[in-house]
């Protein structure tokens, strides 16, 4: 991820932002959840 992007995104949107420790696993788990609820 781009250094400082989380801070800027939080400042610009006013929303809390957190970074995942293992982003690849988050993508895989999220994709699985979407597929489970799509069909």
- pLDDT at residue 1 in the model: 62
Rg over alpha carbons for the chain, rounded to the nearest Å, is 13
Classify each residue of 2-30 as buried b or exposed e, where b means 16 or more C-beta atoms within 10 Å of its C-beta. eeeeeeeeeeeeeeeeeeeeeeeeeeeee
pTM over 0.85: no
Per-residue pLDDT band for 38 (boundaries 50, 70, 90) equals confident
Per-residue pLDDT band for 15 (boundaries 50, 70, 90) equals very high
Instruction: Read off the pLDDT of residues 18-31 as tens digits, 9 standing for 90 and up.
Output: 999 999 999 999 99
């Amino acid at each position: 991820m781009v250094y400082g992007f989380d801070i800027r995104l939080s400042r610009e949107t006013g929303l809390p932002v957190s970074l995942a420790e293992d982003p690849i696993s988050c993508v895989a788990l999220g994709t699985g959840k979407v597929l489970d609820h799509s069909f």
